Amino acid sequence: SGNCAGFSLIELVITITIIAIVLAIATLNFNTYKQKSNMESEIREIYTDINNARISAATQKTVYGVILQPNGYILKTYINAPDYSTSANAVLNGTQIASKTFTYMLTNSNTTTAFTNTNCAIVFDITGMLTTTTPNMTILINPPSNSQGSNCIVVSAAHDNLGRWNASTSNCELN
């Protein structure tokens, strides 16, 4: 008659411990997923704005520039050729039309160093062609991850491509 139905203290502690472990694993996976998602969102936004600058340059017959910085970029327009004849001139001159700041650092994969205010201007002439950067310049969002998803952009003379960084080959594999 001392038979009471229910759970013992040990059974409850084990159950709570299992639930806590499952929640901890789920939280870690969620944080990793969220970081990957935010990085991909930022690189897609940069990609869209670079493409929009290229298209606007061609359709509006105005020179457009994207000045890359460590944690963002500035969009500019230019009137006089000397204002964008070099990357340094393009950074100093022109009319700022927008700027964006990001959480993750942008680097040039060719040098693996962060962009500074003087070392990278992407300028498109009135035909939408690249003027002041070397062909196939690669913009990488850091920290690069080996997970699936886009995290780099290749900017070339006539078009831009979104891709995924391959650390073993130091190359942006295009999507």
Ranges of beta strands (E only) in the chain are 63-69, 72-78, 95-101, 105-108, 113-114, 121-124, 137-142, 152-155, 160-166, 171-174
d(CA 63, CA 150): 28
Q: The pTM is what?
A: 0.79
- Residue 18's pLDDT is 95
- Residue 65's pLDDT is 92
- Residue 40's pLDDT is 87
Low-confidence ranges of the chain (pLDDT < 50): 146
- Residue 95's pLDDT is 94
d(CA 141, CA 128): 24
d(CA 78, CA 91): 11
Q: Collect all residues with Cβ–Cβ distance below 8 Å to 96 and sequence separation of at least 6.
A: 74, 75, 76
The letter for the amino acid at 29 is N
- Residue 59's pLDDT is 95
